[in-house]
Amino acid sequence: FLKDGPQMWEFLLRPFRGGAYVRAQRIGDKTVGVLGSYVRGTATVAAVDAIGILIGLLILQVPLAVPLAVLLFFLPFITILGGTISGILAALVALVANDWINALAVVGVVVLVNQLEGNFLQPVLMGRSMKLHAFVILVALTVGTVLGGIVGAVLAVPIAAAAWGVIQVWDGPDLPARWARPKRPIDH
């Protein structure tokens, strides 16, 4: 896909002509851009989370810190739920291996890192590419989880973002589909 993606997309566009061809090209470019931004942004946020919490786990001498950090990197790809699940796992390991004070300290580290990520890093990295309201993300997650389980939860937000991206370029490079346009000009 990385090497031959453009040729594969061009093959899929063969049936389209004129304006439909231009629209399909625009949609493809926007979809690839949004999905790429989602993966890059999520990976960056997950790496910062994993490294920050790993440092905290090592300082607190929690066993299995590196495997937990690996989980902390991969689970955030499940939007909203992943970070919570990985934090609970880290706290449980600290509770079982050390004591409840250590587990509370791990919870503190996880909450601190997640707050820093959620208030600073996530909005900057993901806000530009996703442009989805939090309610839309929750609805997409709910529908994705109900329809597809864990896989649905992982794919729900990027699919919703790609669909919104397609709507935003439907009638032109910066012209959303007619029904998605604001009824009155937005004051900036």
Q: How would DSSP label each residue in 32-67?
A: HHHHHHHHHHHHHHHHHHHHHHHHHHHHTT-TTHHH
- Is the confidence at residue 50, as pLDDT, over 70? yes
- Is the confidence at residue 132, as pLDDT, over 90? no
Percent of the chain predicted with pLDDT > 70: 91
Of 153, 48, 62, which is closest to residue 105 (Cα–Cα)? 62
Q: Do 27 and 166 meet the contact criterion of CB atoms below 8 Å apart?
A: yes
Q: Which amino acid is at 186?
A: I
pLDDT category at 128 given cuts 50, 70, 90 is: low
Percent of the chain predicted with pLDDT > 90: 31
Question: What is the pLDDT at residue 46?
Answer: 85
Question: What is the pLDDT at residue 106?
Answer: 93
Question: What is the pLDDT at residue 75?
Answer: 83
- If one counts every other C-beta atom within 10 angstroms of the C-beta of residue 97, the result is 13
Rg (CA), the chain: 20
The stretch 10-32 carries a mean pLDDT of: 90
Across 42-46, 58-62, 74-78, which has the greatest mean pLDDT? 58-62
